[in-house]
Structure 1
Amino acid sequence: MRRFTEGETVVRRDVFRGKVWSAHAFEAVEDAPEALVTAGRPGAEVLASTTWFQWLLTGDANVRLRALPDLAGGTWELGRWSWRDTALLQWVPPKAWFSVYAFHDASSEAGLTHWYVNFQRPMRRTAIGFDTFDLLVDLVVAPDLSRWDWKDEDEYAHGRRLGVVSETDHRAVRSAREEAVALIESRSGPFAAVDGWTAWRPDARRDAPVLPDDVLTAGLTGTA
């Protein structure tokens, strides 16, 4: 099994029906049996659907609505982007149907702005990082873990109608929701080290990570 050393580039790819939906270059922080921890920063190279870029640039909700039909139909186009505004830590346990992000405002010393639980298919390691698939629903958590709110429930429901989120996915996410909330309530997993994650900053001496030339083909299989 591929293990990553500190500072090495780790590429997270979201793969749908054997095709890359997005790719994001991160840096390895720690690769331990309980979880792979990576760091993201402004300037990191990203590949994503061009409809996502258009929505970010325009704020037009109608543009965002086109992303799911494009995904369901396999008709999306990828464009390149540089990550902006936030620095983050990503905690990815090996078999879980979710990952946990700790977001920081890269323009200030304010520290941790919020936690984010991203529900996704379990990661499959590759030579360049790992593959997964974002299952659309998310959980946004206050920095001090005092409250949390579900996000994009409507998008998740639409994804189910379009077949982007399968019944197998849905059953797994239902259990994963309970598991993620239990981690927050018990302050375990990444939430056990709130102070350390709050104080973290990306290493300014390192260049932002870039995607490898074979990002669309390396170790790609029929599924995420």
Structure 2
Amino acid sequence: MRTEAFEAMATGEWEFAAGVWQEADLLLWKPPTSWFSINAFFVLDGDGRRLRNWYVNFEHPTCRTDAGFDPLDLIVDLVVAPDLTRWEWKDEDEYAHLRRLGIVSDTEHHAVDAARGEVLAMLTDPSGVFAQAERWAAWRWEPAWPTPRLPRPVAAARRVAPEGG
């Protein structure tokens, strides 16, 4: 399945498929110009729920479309323990494969490398989301909150490759 996804990434052609998120609740932070998002995965645990892990997903900066937001996952990720004491890189072999296929350009690779450094600095000396990790680990969705709705974009955005990419 992932190999097929890489082929689709290489050709730039794929189709949307219906799906329902399962397994865990997700709280996601994605600064629009950032080359990563920080995700908190929550799972049921006895009578409540707990933070399973932090997950840093390296991806293109956010692109707004008529359908919402169009992220482009760059495959490599960082899985972080709930207490921020340890972390582990994930899918580096697949990321290297995408580089060999030319799906991730040199320009994109440099942006991901810079983002990796930024995230590691945020973990080493807790800053950004990680400065308030305990507070976010206790966060709960209020069921009475209305379902968020995106406003229609003023003009249709299009994906623009980074300069040199």
Structure 2 length as normaliser, TM-score? 0.82
The runs of 4+ residues in structure 1 deviating greater than 3 Å are 124-132, 206-212
Corresponding residue of 1:37: none
2:135 to 187, 196, 199: 196
Judged with a 3 Å threshold, the aligned counterparts in structure 2 of structure 1 residues 95 and 77 are, in CA distance, closer, same or farther, namely: closer
Query: TM-score scaled to structure 1, two decimals?
Result: 0.62
**Structure 1 runs not aligned, ≥5 long:** 1-62
Which of 140, 143, 157 pairs up with 2:79?
Answer: 140
Deviation for aligned residue 1:119: 0.8
Aligned pairs for 1:63-78 within 5 A: 63-78=1-16
Q: Which letter maps to 1:103?
A: F
Cα RMSD over matched residues? 2.7
Match of 2:35 among 75, 97, 119: 97
Q: What is the aligned partner in structure 2 of residue 19 from structure 1? A: none
TM-aligned CA deviation for residue 123 of structure 1: 2.3
Q: List alignment gaps of at least 5 residues for structure 2.
A: none
> Secondary structure of 2:119's partner?
helix
Higher relative contact order (CA 8 A, sep 6+): 1
Verify: 1:161 aligned to 2:80, yes or no: no
Q: Secondary structure at 1:67's aligned position in 2?
A: helix
Alpha-carbon contact 1:85-1:107 (below 8 Å) kept: no
1:110 is displaced (CA, Å) by 3.4
Distance 2:150 2:40 in 1: 22
CA offset at residue 111 of structure 1? 1.4
- What is the DSSP-based 3-state SS (H/G/I as helix, E as strand, rest coil) of the residue aligned with 1:104? strand
Identity %: 49
How many residue pairs get aligned? The number is 159
Whole-angstrom CA distance in 1 between matches of 2:158 and 2:121 = 33
